[in-house]
Amino acid sequence: MPFVSIEGIDGSGKSLQAEYLTASLLAMDLQVVKTKEPDGGWIGAGVRSILVEPRPSRLSPLEEMLLISAARVDHVRSVIRPALDAGAWVVSDRFLDSTYAFQVFGSDVPEQLFTQLAEAVVGGTMPDLTFVLDIDPAAALERRSARGGSCGPDPSEATRNFARIRAGLLTAAKRDPDRCHVVDASQMPGEVSEKILSVVLRSGLVDAGRNGGDGL
């Protein structure tokens, strides 16, 4: 069954769009499992606490990537693959492209290392469709602040970091245009949702899933 991931920098609205898409698919009487990274699966919950809680020293980019990759192995094995094999759609708030953007573009992890690890981690379990919600970093930070999120001690550095991650996501989308669709996330949430659903319907995945075939 189809696997859809939704990517974007913080403040792009990806979590909300994952909820909207899940609701739309459920309204079509489809089985849907909505999940998220890094805390999909029990390992991911532990990894998230390591990443967000205060600690004596900062993790290196490599340590972060290895932790997230371990969580993803469990996420694929215990959540995503069982759902797909049971005939359900999977909608994931973040997946592999986030690691590429955060670690390769945001933290300068060698791309070759990322690629080798990614192949071992996900195997053949890749999304059928990925939506990259694109928004200006400054606008994303404004949204984040409006909902009570922190921009850190240096907003300028936060903006630069968001810009690097955004560039990584757009690069990933450009490299795989059949899978990845860039959506302007500066629009109203309802407009973004309509565009995402339009692509899903045009892809043929809904009809193919009902008929037991392959879409796209």
pLDDT over 60 at 216, yes or no: no
Question: What is the C-alpha separation between 188 and 186, in angstroms, rounded?
Answer: 7
Tell me which of 84-93, 153-162, 172-181, 200-209 is least confident.
Answer: 153-162
> Tell me, what CATH number does 161's domain have?
3.40.50.300
Q: Is residue 105 part of a domain?
A: yes
pLDDT over 50 at 201, yes or no: yes
In the predicted model, what is the mean pLDDT of residues 22-42? 94
Instruction: Please give the pLDDT value at position 212.
Output: 58
**150 or 198: which carries more pLDDT confidence?**
198
Q: Is residue 156 part of a domain?
A: yes
Residue 180: strand pairing partners: 130
pLDDT, tens digit, for every residue of 127-151?
999 999 999 999 999 988 887 666 6
Tell me which of 75-84, 93-102, 153-162 is least confident.
Answer: 153-162
Q: Is residue 31 part of a domain?
A: yes
Helix axes 42-52, 61-75, angle to 10 degrees: 160
Q: Which two tokens stand for residue 137?
A: 């970093």
Tell me the pTM: 0.92
Average pLDDT of the residues of the chain: 91
Instruction: Please give the pLDDT value at position 211.
Output: 63
Q: Is residue 183 part of a domain?
A: yes
Q: Which residue range forms the structural domain that includes residue 116?
A: 3-211
Q: Is residue 157 part of a domain?
A: yes
Q: Is residue 132 part of a domain?
A: yes
In the predicted model, what is the mean pLDDT of residues 14-28? 97
Q: Is residue 131 part of a domain?
A: yes
Q: How confident is the model at residue 69 (pLDDT cuts 50, 70, 90)?
A: very high
Tell me which of 113-122, 176-185, 201-210 is least confident.
Answer: 201-210
Instruction: Please give the pLDDT value at position 54.
Output: 74
Contacting residues for 135 by C-beta, under 8 A, at least 6 apart: 8, 9, 11, 12, 13, 166, 184, 185, 186
Q: Is residue 216 part of a domain?
A: no
pLDDT over 70 at 214, yes or no: no
Total of domains in the chain: 1
pLDDT, tens digit, for every residue of 39-55?
888 898 889 888 887 77
pLDDT over 90 at 16, yes or no: yes
Instruction: Please give the pLDDT value at position 193.
Output: 98
106-115 contact pairs (CB < 8 A, 24+): 106/161, 106/164, 106/165, 106/168, 107/61, 107/64, 107/65, 108/61, 109/61, 109/62, 109/65, 113/62, 114/65
